[in-house]
Amino acid sequence: MDLTGKGALVTGGGSGIGAAAVRRLAAAGARVAVADRDEAAASEVADEVGGLALAGDVADPERMPAHVAAAEETFGRLDVVLLNAGVTAGQSGVEELDLAGYRRIVGVNVDHVVFGLAAAVPALRRAGGGRVVATASLAGLVPMPGDALYTMTKHAVVGYVRAAAPVLAGDGIRVNAVCPGFADTPLIARAKPQFGEFPLLTAENVADAIEAVLERGEPGECWFVQPGRDPAPYGFRGVPGPAGAPRPPDVTWADH
């Protein structure tokens, strides 16, 4: 992967998968903006790769436009955006619901992906096209009954990526998602003892998958990442249509 002269932005880049992805992009020649709510963590990783540290809450509607603008201004262009920041719910969201926790997980896991893509598109167009990869989860492809809220948010990311990708492909902007299984990162630190001998991904495993998606991913593909397996696009099954009906039209709601 050669990203010499390219500008990149990684959210949640201060630790775990995000930090591994920052290092991978920098090693490929990119100049990288490291965005994280933890200002010290963002600065540490950015200093390591000679990048730009950006602090703030990505759930804030104004934060992603500011991050994109700072990265483009500093690097002169923006070519790669990894929308990686994520949190867990800390509650089932089924029998009882903590509203603040619910708003938090939706804000980080869903809103930030929407805010980030919307903010990045004009900059990517100015660069002549680019790549956007959102970190979803295996819980975006199959249900995780113990965490219904996390499952909901990651399904939302997968659906958003699949629907947004065809709209942007004509502009040379390729949108994808990576869907890792359980990874040994700070996100599961408190629950790690419960996994016992269950194999966990490393942050580097997921960075490998992100690199593969950046190099070979087709628009809208959502790549699964599992220990001991090569990452690959998930094969979605088609939904049966009305009997005897023609193919449905490509509806653009803005026209109605």
Question: Comparing 15-29, 177-191, 202-216, which segment has the lowest mean pLDDT?
Answer: 177-191
**Which one is catalytic: 102, 150, 160, 234?**
150
Say if residues 93 and 149 touch (Cβ distance below 8 Å). yes
CATH class of 7-255: alpha beta
* Residue extents of the structural domains in the chain: 7-255
**Does the structure show a pLDDT above 50 at 82?**
yes
The DSSP secondary-structure symbol of 177 reads E
**Span 222-251, pLDDT tens digits:** 999 999 999 999 999 888 888 877 776 666
Q: In 3-state terms, what secondary structure has residue 224?
A: strand
Average pLDDT of the segment spanning 73-90:
95
pLDDT at site 239: 84
Share of the chain above pLDDT 90, in %: 79
- What's the pTM? 0.91
Task: Name 35's Cβ contacts closer than 8 Å, sequence gap at least 6.
Answer: 9, 10, 11, 12, 13, 42, 54, 55, 56, 58, 67, 85
DSSP output for 177-231 = EEEE-SBSSGGGGGGGGGGTT---B-HHHHHHHHHHHHHHPPTT-EEEE-TTS--
User: Quick check: 256 pLDDT over 50?
Assistant: no
Per-residue pLDDT reduced to its tens digit, 107-116: 999 999 999 9
The pLDDT mean for the chain works out to 92
Exposure string of 98-119, with b = 16+ CB inside 10 Å and e = fewer, is eeebbebbbbbbbbbbbbbbeb
Does the pLDDT at position 63 exceed 80? Answer: yes
Q: Can you tell me the distance from the alpha carbon of 114 to that of 197, in angstroms, rounded to the nearest whole number?
A: 36
Question: What pLDDT is attached to residue 244?
Answer: 78
- Among this protein's residues, is 150 annotated catalytic? yes
Radius of gyration of the chain (CA): 18
Stretch 133-152: mean pLDDT, rounded?
A: 93
More confident residue, 183 or 75: 75
The confidence score (pLDDT) of residue 238 equals: 83
Question: What tokens were used for 65?
Answer: 């436009």
Per-residue model confidence (pLDDT) at position 196: 54
d(C-alpha 67, C-alpha 46), whole Å: 14
Of 186, 163, 193, 185, the closest CA to residue 175 belongs to 163
**Residue listed under structure tokens 């201004």:** 73
Query: Taking each helix axis from N to C terminus, what angle separates 99-106 and 148-169, rounded to the nearest 10 degrees?
Result: 30
- Sequence-distant (6+) residues with CB within 8 A of 39 are 53, 55
